[in-house]
Chains A and B, each alone.
Chain A
């Protein structure tokens, strides 16, 4: 056992603490090449990660970078800096700690490269940027340890893959580098350990005492939740009650739009004037910082927030977490709850507030899953090659490189361990020449092979452009929102470009908890004025984000088979009885399909309970058949339980939709042309460096040509169908779909056991589907029909009306397509 130095011992003593067993274990294994610690939030996890560094530097002070700390959030890096500075300064340790994120001033960033601190706190993107400079070997010289915090959050996205590729590079620069991962509870620690360690090094996993089980329950209210809707306005009085009874409450929402609406309603009902704030990623940075500051000082009683306030940030005395809407991911729910009550060994308290009645069922199923310890999550699969392409470009930006050495480095990354040399070479070729069958502009290729066999950038100025494009997060293009100049010009936040395009002057919407009126667009900024309206006219923005999976389908369909539901609140049990009365509840082994008109379109719901990926695939296949059968499908949306398809023509007989031979025929062409593929292509093409990111400054100067990725996709499909990026697109898109074989099996299994029910209105069970995120448009014959119909209407009324929307008294939910 490595003894804790006296100085540390004393410091722990003055705090009245003793070292946790897992902190001691981390210290004992300070020399392990890779180590993964799984510990609950509040368990001294961060200190456990840093203790070996602090001890090492206390005993043998030295210059230069010693430990690199990576976290998924900028705010987390800043927070850790605060927490780490306390022991360092109280013990008088000769340790300099600095953070480096997108918000760090350029002058300090330059200085950090030449004169790095002992401990540098940063994000995966900032690290990738650091490795893209020629002086990276000097910056990282002598680096001993890297600590990856909240690794469970990084591991499930491309950010994690990018980070691990960067660590591969660092490991080559500093062969003795030790890797430490800190994670919240996860279902498969081995998978994360494999990603963390240098392949094929082993990685020991330390499990800290998980502490007492969290205290989670569903908030029961006198008022019944609605059939549909995500606002949970009905629960406002009950939530206010809870805020009064607790010190600090975090109120999580699944989307920013829901957070805005809830905050607005909460404020209208807040008769005691409790200090309540709002925090989400679209708000202006200053506004976010103000809320964060107020929270740290304990001035707020509650914060309405989204995932931007997620993860392990220590915001002080949170003693209650409220989750509005069914948790879309049980694992995330448990991690969020870990945020409440940061005292180790005290149970965390959380309340679920379902927004509609279907969510009541989901919440009950989720609580069962939590009690059973069944956390969800999808296996990650192999490392995405678009991220590898970006890594090759980053390597080139840092100077000439040898391809054999780079390949050897890449396959030390767990996720890329099985990458073949041929696959690697194809990525290199793409980076160098674009990888087209037509060698149209070889003279302008991006990378050149030098006489010594190494590769370099043709034009060194390209390094700048590569750096601007670093990162794997797919931001939808957003526009800044500010008050009009004569109202002060204050920045308020951001909205999606697509949302801004749908606004007409006079429209009102919510941002930062206030209602504003759209005035116009000025130099790529949305100008608004304050508005005293009670209700916003347009009720949503940022509405196309994918919901993550709950994987609760088996539990839910099982629950549906019961005669009655004593475990559910009466209003929800009644609602299920009503579904049974007007239609029926889905049964295992049969397929329930409902068709009804709604919203000016013909709707069909297929309750397959095949999981979100399965239902998504089903949507793709069925819309193909519907297009062929001239049913004019316009789009679909999938949940774990059902697929909703809308179109112009009513489905009278769904059986032919499942005709397997017809499904197969022309399937590839249909899938290739689908919006899911185009969306995936856009993401991969941006990451791989084919399309430049639309930075606001670039758009403003107009120097950067922006290209419709859909047109690039169509052109590639037509003239170069074997191109690497199309191959990558297919591979990436398939991560969100299931094998078509499985859908075939399902069609065969169900056979003629289809229960098709035609109704004249929405059923109870179908109602919540209309607000689902992730709608996929189908652009077929229906579009031409719509166009003709709308044109006829417009030409008839022209002269009377320009194209202005009809006034609406209640909020219109602008879900696209």
Chain B
């Protein structure tokens, strides 16, 4: 398992190449912005029929991370479903799959702006959750310490010998950690955008996901 080790708010964490966060001490795996059933919502709302395989793909990657880490606690950091109707209309096969993944471990759904209500899936539904020095919520708050959030789908780009390499990325400074989006059909917001630039402190770092997660000063 390729990962980047780092310490945030005193917790020893690992950023996985897939975009998941692994906290070995708590056997906790955290993923953000799965946006399951996105293609269903798009078809329903615009008539555009995207390839309906993104839920399967996202769950496949999640299953692989769970198998590799043997996590005992899973936190889905909000926007797990593209909307509440999408959650309700998930095909039977995929519902079963989620249930299988949940078996034998604690599972927490944090509310996101896309899925602000309770879901028909097992597990605990919370607005936010505190664990040791860390607080897990969907959207970063202004006055945060030890906060782990998602929502922005951050990505970061590097220029190297004439090539620009852009990847979904973890962003963190001494106060907050923002996870990249984990879902297959999720776009990204550049770390040099105003909103991320304002949110993150000047000494923030970015960890680019991919086969070899790589840490750099956050590109601005």
**Residues of A in contact with B (beta carbons under 8 Å apart):** 433-434, 436, 438, 440-441, 444-446, 458-459, 462, 465, 501-502, 599-601, 634-635, 689-692, 704-708, 711-712, 715-716, 718-720, 723, 777, 783-784, 786-791, 794-795, 798, 802-803, 805, 815-817
Contact = CB atoms under 8 A, between A and B. Distances in A.
Interface residues of B, number: 40
B26 interface: no
B50 A712 contact: yes
A691 B187 CA distance: 14
A232 to B, nearest CB: 24
B184 A715 contact: yes
B148 interface: no
Contacts of A446: 47, 49
Nearest to B202: A802
B52 interface: yes
Main secondary structure of the interface of A (DSSP, over half): loop
B195 interface: no
B164 interface: yes
B158 A720 contact: no
Given A459-B47, A501-B164, A715-B185, 16 more contacts: A436-B52, A444-B47, A445-B49, A462-B47, A601-B161, A690-B50, A712-B50, A719-B53, A720-B53, A723-B51, A786-B163, A787-B158, A787-B214, A791-B158, A795-B215, A803-B217
A440 B184 contact: no
Contacts of A707: 50, 185, 187
Nearest to B46: A465
Contact of B39 (A440, A458, A706): A440
B54 to A, nearest CB: 6
B185 A790 contact: no
A444 B52 CA distance: 12
B99 interface: no
B124 interface: no
Contacts of A459: 47
Contacts of B162: 599-601, 815-817
B64 interface: no
A761 B46 CA distance: 55
Given A787-B160, A803-B220, A719 B56 contact: yes
A770 to B, nearest CB: 11
A715 B54 contact: yes
Closest 6 CB pairs of A and B: A434-B49, A440-B52, A790-B160, A719-B53, A444-B43, A786-B160
A708 B47 contact: no
Nearest to A804: B220
A445 B56 CA distance: 20
B123 interface: no
Given A690-B50, A817-B163, A706 B187 contact: yes
A712 B50 CA distance: 8
B163 A634 contact: yes
Interface in B195-217: 208, 210-212, 214-217
Contact of B212 (A434, A465, A787): A787
A441 B40 contact: yes
B42 A705 contact: yes
B184 A711 contact: yes
Given A690-B50, A790-B158, A784 B185 contact: no
Contacts of A691: 48
Contacts of A634: 163
B160 A789 contact: yes
A715 B51 contact: yes
B25 interface: no
B44 interface: yes
A603 to B, nearest CB: 12
A599 to B, nearest CB: 7
Contacts of B164: 501-502, 816
A465 B47 CA distance: 9
Contacts of A783: 163, 165
A783 B91 CA distance: 38
Contacts of A784: 210-212
Nearest to A803: B219
Residue in A708, A711, A716 whose Cβ sees the most chain B Cβ within 10 Å: A711
A356 B82 CA distance: 55
Contacts of B47: 444, 446, 458-459, 462, 465
Contact of B43 (A441, A790, A795): A441
Contacts of B165: 783, 786-787
12 contacts: A433-B49, A436-B49, A436-B53, A441-B49, A599-B161, A634-B163, A705-B187, A707-B187, A708-B187, A719-B56, A786-B160, A786-B165
A719 B54 CA distance: 9
A692 B214 contact: no
A791 B214 contact: yes
Contacts of B184: 711, 715
A691 B42 CA distance: 11
Given A444-B44, A707-B185, A787 B210 contact: yes
